[in-house]
Amino acid sequence: MSNKDILLKEIEELPDERLREIIDFVRFLKSQEQEEKLEPTLLSEPSLAKGWTKAEEDEAWSDL
């Protein structure tokens, strides 16, 4: 039996009023996963922003 099957079986045995907690927890886990994927991008943003804010950059892109 897979982990997913075990989890589904456990969920089926819960009363409906507890399911909201399960939904919230699953959404929390999914958001954590998204944050972990974005973390390297967010960490590099300050150093990349230094180049983006230079006047030479504005001038180079002004024709577009």
3-state DSSP call for residue 63?
A: coil
Instruction: Please report, for the chain, the start and end positions of each structural domain, with discontinuous segments joined by +.
Output: 3-61
* pLDDT tens digits along 15-60: 999 999 999 999 999 998 887 777 777 667 777 776 666 777 777 7
Separation between Cα atoms, residue 1 and residue 43, nearest integer Å: 40
Res. 64: pLDDT tops 80: no
Instruction: Determine the pLDDT at residue 10.
Output: 95
Instruction: Determine the pLDDT at residue 42.
Output: 67
